Amino acid sequence: MFVLLLVLVLVFAAVFAEQIAPYDPAKQDLLHTMEMPSAEHLLGTDDFGRDILSRIIYGGRISLLVAILAIAFSLVVGGILGVSAGYFGGVYDGTVMRIMDVLMAIPGFLLAVCVSSALGTGVQNTAIAIGVGCVPGYARLMRAQVLSIRDQEYVEAARITGSSDLRIMLKHIVPNILSPIIVESTLRIGACILMISSLSFIGLGVQPPDAEWGSMVAAGRQYIRSFWPIVTFPGLAIMVTLFGFNLFGDGLRDALDPRLKR
């Protein structure tokens, strides 16, 4: 419940960033650069005099937005491939799974770097670059779930009554495999946020002046010894967010798994 509260706070801060952030994240004040945390600036200011707390709040919005877009993209593409491969089987199933094996053989971050380099930077392109790497995992997970239920009695009954393959997949199969998909998506949000920050850190993700945690760390790394708040607080934001979503996913898995209920 504590982690659930933490996740809700993060989401609330991202949605209502304009009302919560004390300052404009892009407003520069060159007379008050690199100030230590104080009552006026709770987390200090960066090398351009921008309020670090405000930029972290807005950075959470961008990170969550890109993560959700990446999960949605991979869920749709991987879901279509996985469900259809598990349902139809045969040569189509083998072809799709071998393509997924090839993608899974490429390290996720390297694949994201290649796609991001080809598409360019920005929120949408970063989401696609990260989502491509998540497609094989969703495809294999949903295929496995479909294989476990495609021969159940209610699916056979739907076939006998003349339901089309599309109707059977959408109405009878997909609703019965949603629990593990929801858990997997929750767990992947944290990994996607880390990937977003990593891409932004090397200059292939969200670009300045947009506030994003990875780009904030990259911009402040040259001051890491002389002014620690500029990299410490964005790094802590990444760590706390990953901690929250990972534990929330574990708790959600325990709650939705009927084998753990007594």
The residue that leads in pLDDT, 259 or 183, is: 183
- The DSSP result for 99-141, as a single string, is HHHHHHHS-HHHHHHHHHHHH-SSHHHHHHHHHHHHHHHHHHH
pLDDT digits (tens, 9 = 90+) for 7-23: 899 889 888 988 999 99
- Joined together, the tokens standing for residue 88 give 């139809």
pLDDT digits (tens, 9 = 90+) for 18-64: 899 999 988 888 888 899 999 999 999 998 999 999 999 999 888 89
End-to-end CA distance of the chain: 20
Q: Which residues, at least 6 apart from 11, have a Cβ–Cβ distance to it below 8 Å?
A: 64
> Which one-letter amino acid corresponds to residue 38?
S
Tell me 24's DSSP state: -
